[in-house]
A and B are shown apart, each in its own frame.
Chain A
Amino acid sequence: MELDPLFLSRIQFAFVVSFHAIFPVFTIGLASYIALIYGLAFKTNNPKWERLGAFWTQVFAVVFGMGVVSGIVMSFQFGTNWSNFSLATANFLGPVLSYEVVTAFFLEAAFLGVLLFGRGKVPNGVHFFAALMVSIGTFISSFWILSANSWMQTPAGVEIRDGIYHVVDWSAAIFNESFWYRFAHMGLASFLTGGFVVAGVSAWFLIQKRDTELHRKALSMTLWLLLFLTPLQVFIGDLHGLNTLEHQPTKVAAMEGNWETQKGAPLLLFAIPDQEQQTNHFEVGIPKMASFILTHDWDGEIPGVKEQPPELQPNVPIVFWSFRIMVAMGLLMVLVAVIGLFLRRNKAYMHKRWYLQTLRLMTLSPFIAVLAGWFVTEVGRAPYLIYGQMTHAEGVTPSLTGGMALFTLIGYFLVYAFVFAAGAYYLTRVIRTGTEGTEQHDDEKHRPKRPLSAAEASFD
C-alpha cells in the first residue's frame, strides 16, 4: 500500500494539536480562577482562600507542564510537515507567532515561578500580581494564536506576489473578519472548561465529605459563573456561526448536512451523510429550523455542499457529527447550570448526590465540546489550509515521504501516550491529596520553580 504523506501529515497535525489543545484550554480558564481566588485572599485575608488557591495552583502546575512539553512540538510542526505553507505565509505568521513567544510565553514562565514557589517569599500583593500576570499571559497567547488561525480561515490584509504572502495592512490581517468571534468563543470555552472542572472536582470533594465548607463555597461561586456563561456561549456561538455562513458557506452547509442549496432548510437532528452519493440517509429533522437559525427567516436560503465540486468539499460526516456533538455538549452545560439555579433553594445543589455526580461527569464535557468544535472549524475548512487560496496539498512539505510521516506519527503517538499516562496518573494523585494538606506549603523546601514540582503528591 502506498503511504500518502499528505494524509499522514494531516492525521499527525490533528493528533498533536488536539493533544496539545486540551491543556491550554483548561489552563487559560484556571489561571483566571486562581487569580480571582488569590485576589479574594489578598482582599479578605481569609486563609481559606489561600488554601483553595494553593490546591488549584498544584493542579495548574501539572497541566501547564504538559502543555509546555507538547507545545514545543507545535512550533516545529509547520516547518517539518507544512514547509510550503510556512514559506508562503511566513511574512504574516512568523511575526505573529514570534509575538506570542515574546509577549506571552516569557511572561508566563517568569511569573509562574513566583506563583508556584513564591508564597511566603514575596508579599501577598506581589503573589496575587504574579497570578494575575500568568492569567494575562495565557490570554495574550490565545490572542495571537487565534489571530493566526482566524487569518487562515478568513485571510485579509495581504497580497500574494510570486507565491509569497506580503502583509499590506497589519491590523486588517491580525483583526481579520472571523477573529473576534473566534476569540470570544474560545475565551468563553476556556472559562467554561475551567468552571466545569472546578465544579466537578468540588462536587467530588463534597461527595467524599472532605473540607466541605471550602468546596461548598467554591461550588456555589462556580455555579453562578456557569449560569451566566453557558447561555452567553450559546449566543456567541450563534454569532460565530452567522459569521462563518458569511465567509465560509460550504463549511456551514457541511455542519447542517445540507447538500442542495434550498429555502426553508430543516434542522437535522440525525442523519448519516454519504459523501460518495452526495446525500443523507435516515434524516430526522425539524422543518425550516436551520433556515430560521441561520437567516432568522423561516424561508431563508441555505447554501448547499454541492455548490462546490466534490474535490473542493470538506468531509461532511466528520463536520456534521462533530458539530452535533459540540452543540449537544453546549446545551447539556446550559441545562446543568440552570438546574443548579433551581437547586439553590435550601442549598440542595450541595447535598443532592445525583446532582454532584452529574457535575463530576460533566468535567469531561467542555473538553469534548472544544475538540469537537475545532474539528468542525478545521475539517470544515478543508481542502483549504488558507481558505479559498491554498489547499493542504499545496502546503505540504514536498520532500516528505509517506514512510517519514508514518515514522513520526507513530513516534509522537507513543511519546504522548507515555506523557499522558504519567501526567493523568499524577494529576489524579494531586486531586486525591486534596486541599487539606496545602497549608504548610511555602517553606524553603520548595525552591525550584518547575511547574510539576509544585505538586506535593507522591508519584508511586
Chain B
Amino acid sequence: MSEPVFDLTYIWAAIIAFGVIMYVLMDGFDLGQGILFMFAPSEQGRDIMMNSVAPVWDGNETWLVLGGAGLLAAFPLVYSIFLPALYIGVFLLLAGLIFRGVAFEFRFKAHSSRYLWNWSFAIGSTVAAFAQGAVVGAYIQGFETENMRYVGGALDWLTPFTVLTGVGLVAGYALLGATWLVMKSEGATQDWAYKLVKPLLAAVLIIFLVISVWTPFVDAFVAERWFSGFSAIWLLPILGLLSAFWIYRSVSQRREGTPFIATMALFIFTYLGLLASKWPYVVPPNYTLADAASAHESQLFLLIGLLFVIPIVLVYTAWTYWVFRGKVKADQGYH
C-alpha cells in the first residue's frame, strides 16, 4: 500500500469535534429545561419550557447518533474503548434520554398522571446530563488499556473527580437552559429565568475553577501542557472568563438574546480549552488521534459523502429553528 497523499485524520478530528459541540450546545439547552423543570414557579411555566424545545429536541439528539456512528467510522478505537469503559454510564445516559423523550410525548396527553411525566422529564434529563459530564471527567482521567482493549473495571469511570465534572455539566446545561428560556419566554417565567442566571453562573464558575485546579493533579500531562510556560492556549480561559462577564453584564441589562449567545461562547471556549489540554491524545493516556484513526480509504469514502450531505443537514436545521422562532406561549403547543 502506498502512503496516502494527505492525511484525513485531522480533518476527521475537526468534524467529530464539531459534531460534539453541536450536540452539547443544542441538546444542552433542552436538557437544561429538564434540569430546571421541577423548580419552575408554575405549571404554566413548565408548559412554556417544554413547548420552547419540543419542535427541535429530537433533531438535536440526532447529532448524538451521528457522534456514535461517526466515531465508529473515523476513530474506531475511541468507540471500542470508551463504550466498554463507560458501560454503566452509557446505560444511565440512554435510560435517561428514553425516560425524558417519552415524558415529552405523554405529558401533554396526561391529566391526572401529569406529575409522573414531569418527574420522568426532570430526572431523565438530569441523569443524562450528569452521565455526559462524568464521561468528560473520565476522558480527562484516562483509561486503563492494553493492546488496544479496555482492561479496567466497570466503575473506574465513577470517581470523586468525575462526579464533580458530572455536577459541573448539570449546572452548565442548567445555565444554558435558563438563558435559552430568557430568550424564548416573557412575563413571570422570563423573570424567573433571569433570576436563575447569576446564581447558576456563579455555581458553574466555582465548579469549573475547582476542576481546573484539580485536573493538573489528576493528570501530569495536562499540568505539563498548561504550566510549562506561557502559550497561546492561555487565551482560551481568558476568553472564557470574558464570556462569563458578558453573561453577567447582559443579564444585568436585561438583554434577551445576548445571555444565551454569551453562554454558548462560554461553553465553546471551555470545550476548546479541554481539547487543548489533551491534544493529540484521544484515548488518554496511551493513544493519539493517529493511533485511533480508521483506514484512510474508509475516512475518504465517508468524507466525500459528508461534504455534500452535512451542508444540507445544516440548512434543514437552521430552517426548523427559523420556523419556530420567537416567543413561546403556554397555550400554543400541545393540546
Contacts and interface: CB of A to CB of B under 8 A. Distances in A.
B295 A91 contact: yes
A109 B320 CA distance: 10
Contact of B59 (A72, A84, A109, A422): A109
A404 B87 contact: yes
Nearest to A405: B87
Contacts of A151: none
B302 A73 contact: no
Contact of A95 (B301, B324, B332): B301
Nearest to A416: B98
A97 B69 contact: yes
Interface string A59-87: 00000010011111101101110011011
Contact of B112 (A92, A399, A460): A460
A286 interface: no
Contact of B80 (A90, A167, A408, A422): A90
A408 B83 CA distance: 13
Contacts of B152: 399
A241 to B, nearest CB: 32
A101 B66 contact: yes
A87 B148 contact: yes
Contact of B98 (A97, A408, A419, A447): A419
Given A408-B91, A426-B106, A426-B109, A447 B324 contact: yes
B310 A102 contact: yes
Contact of B99 (A72, A97, A98, A415): A415
Contact of B72 (A71, A79, A415): A79
B108 interface: yes
Interface residues of B, number: 75
B122 to A, nearest CB: 16
Main secondary structure of the interface of A (DSSP, over half): helix
Contacts of B70: 94, 98, 101
A98 B150 CA distance: 24
B23 interface: no
A300 interface: no
B297 A87 contact: no
A453 B110 CA distance: 12
Q: Which of B64, B95, B112, B113 has the most chain A CB atoms inside 10 A of its CB?
A: B95
A427 B111 CA distance: 17
Interface residues of A, number: 69
Given A79-B84, A94-B72, 16 more contacts: A80-B83, A80-B90, A86-B79, A86-B80, A90-B76, A91-B76, A92-B298, A95-B298, A98-B73, A102-B306, A106-B312, A113-B55, A397-B150, A445-B335, A453-B54, A459-B110
Closest CB pairs A-B (n = 8): A94-B73, A79-B83, A90-B76, A459-B109, A452-B105, A448-B54, A87-B80, A110-B316
Interface of B: 51, 54-55, 57-59, 61-62, 64-66, 68-70, 72-74, 76-77, 79-85, 87-88, 90-91, 94-95, 97-99, 101-102, 104-106, 108-113, 148-154, 294-295, 297-298, 301-302, 305-306, 309-310, 312-313, 316-317, 319-320, 323-324, 332-335
19 contacts: A76-B68, A79-B84, A83-B150, A87-B148, A90-B294, A91-B297, A94-B69, A94-B70, A94-B294, A97-B72, A113-B323, A170-B301, A398-B149, A399-B151, A399-B152, A404-B87, A422-B102, A426-B105, A450-B58
